[in-house]
Amino acid sequence: MARSWRRRDFGSMHAINVANLVDVVLVILIVFMISAPLMQSGINVDLPETKIADTTISDGVVVTIDRKGVIYVDDRTANQGFEKIIKDAYDASDSKKVFLRADREVTHGRVVEVMGMIKEAGIKEIGLVTKLPELSEKQKNRN
C-alpha cells in the first residue's frame, strides 16, 4: 500500500490577531501606572499640607529631610559633605532646579538650616514641596 505524499498548500493568512499584543501592552501599562509614583522618591516623608500645592516635581535635584532630620540628595544620604554633594548634583542636572521636601515633624529651624546650606552652595532658587490636604469622609460624600 503506497501512501501518497502530497504537499499541503497552506494559504496565506490575511488577518493579524492583535488580541495578544493588546493584552501585553495593557499589562505593561498597568505596571508603569503602579510604579510611576514610586519612582519619584524612595524616602518616605509625611509632607505638610496646604490648600494650594503644586504636587508635581519636575526634573531637578530633590533634597529630602526625613523625620529624624537626615538629609538626602536624590535618595542618597548627604549629612557629610552636603555642599559638595548638592553642587555636584546641581551641576549634573539639566533643569537647574532644587526642590526641598521635609517631613512635617521636622522643626522649622532644621528646614531653614538646610535652606541656608543650599544657598551657601551657590543655589539661589529653592522650591518647597507640599501636598494637598486629604478629604475627610464627609467631604468626599458631599462631592
Domain chopping of the chain, boundaries: 41-128
Q: What is the pLDDT of residue 26?
A: 94
Alpha-helical segments (H) within 1-143: 19-35, 82-92, 108-120, 137-142
Question: pLDDT per residue over 113-138, tens digit each?
Answer: 999 999 988 888 888 888 887 754 44
The whole-chain average pLDDT of the chain stands at: 79
What are the φ/ψ torsions at residue 32 (nearest 5 degrees)?
-70, -35
If one compares 89 and 39, the residue with the highest pLDDT of the two is 89
The CA distance from 90 to 61, in Å, is 6
Least confident of 9-23, 42-56, 105-119: 42-56
If one compares 53 and 19, the residue with the highest pLDDT of the two is 19
∠ Cα 67 99 104 (to 5°): 25
Taking 60 as the threshold, does the pLDDT of residue 91 lie above it? yes
Taking 60 as the threshold, does the pLDDT of residue 83 lie above it? yes
Architecture of the CATH domain 41-128:
2-Layer Sandwich (3.30)
pTM of the predicted model over 0.85: no
Under a CB-based contact definition with an 8 Å cutoff, are residues 64 and 43 in contact?
Answer: yes
CB neighbour list of residue 124: distance below 8 Å, 6 or more residues apart: none
pLDDT tier at 30, thresholds 50, 70, 90: very high
Arithmetic mean of pLDDT, 95-111: 88
